[in-house]
Amino acid sequence: DVDPEAVRRARNARRRRHLSIDPVGNGMVEVYGLLDAAKGAVLDQQLDALARTVCPHDPRTHAQRRADAVDALQVGGMACLCGRADCPAAGNKVPTGQYVIHVIAGQDSTDAATSTDAPAAEGNATTFESRGPAAEAAAPMPPAAPTPAPKSPPPALIPGYGPITADQLRDLLPSATIRPLTDGAELGTERGYHPSRALTEFIGCRDLICRWPGCTIAAQRCDIDHTTPWPYGPTHPSNTKLYCRIHHLIKTFHCGPGGWTESQHPDGT
């Protein structure tokens, strides 16, 4: 179980949330702040979605388009800067629909978050035993050991954004669809090269980060790699995993004879 002190630290951190916009000269401002993890994850997806609405000839980098997408959120669309009269992205609007974030939590966490029981008061209680008048001359009784504080449920995790508290999980549950995270065996083998949405979501929740030893690039920034290249290897949970782009390229072009090899077990390890 998580240290209750960690839960208190998280609550204090939420109280410090803010957003500041300060001038830094040369016609630019700096934007920084602290946001709720779930809201930040949705904003991150919105900026990425807007940055992808322009055509391939747009001269800006992806990072520059994300910065320009902040304004596009307000005006309802992001103008492509390719300058072509036949631009296929002309008139594109802000992508609509739901943005999905995945939250991984144990059964204990979801049960605790949906419980209607009032939370116990914070702090330690000290108790004394009454011994009557005859005890007045006796040595003072030492206080009883502090009553342990209730154990906090394990925190939930938003892949790529870190842990969240039970309070934050409770806020998300009313609009959430709860699905068990299994071993993926029920997904079966898929016919094509590109994984389905269900398999993509499963791999992201299973791996969380790039599977290259020591790499911590988040799932959202990773590719899905076939351990045994397709079509010789299946598109299946036991033959697919996350690699960041750099390690995906290293694996693709620097393995085999004279290089190194990898294997993946039926359980995905």
**Does residue 140 surpass a pLDDT of 50?**
no
pLDDT above 90 covers what percent of the chain? 15
Query: What is the tally of structural domains in the chain?
Result: 2
Q: How many CA atoms lie within 13 A of 242 on its CB side?
A: 25
Contact 264, 234 (CB under 8 A): no
Q: How many CB atoms lie within 10 A of CB 257?
A: 5
Residue 15 lies in a domain: no
Q: Identify the residue with better confidence: 10 or 142.
A: 10
For residue 150, tell me if it sits in a domain.
no
pLDDT for res 133: 36
Residue 21 lies in a domain: no
Helix (H) or strand (E) segment spanning residue 186: none
- By residue range, what is the domain housing residue 73? 35-95
Q: Which of 73-82, 202-211, 215-224, 245-254 has the lowest mean pLDDT?
A: 73-82
Query: How crowded is the C-beta side of 243, counted as CA atoms within 13 Å?
Result: 15
Residue 36, CB half-sphere, CA atoms under 13 Å: how many? 11
Show which of 61, 80, 95 is a domain's final residue.
Answer: 95
Q: Give the model's pLDDT for residue 29.
A: 86
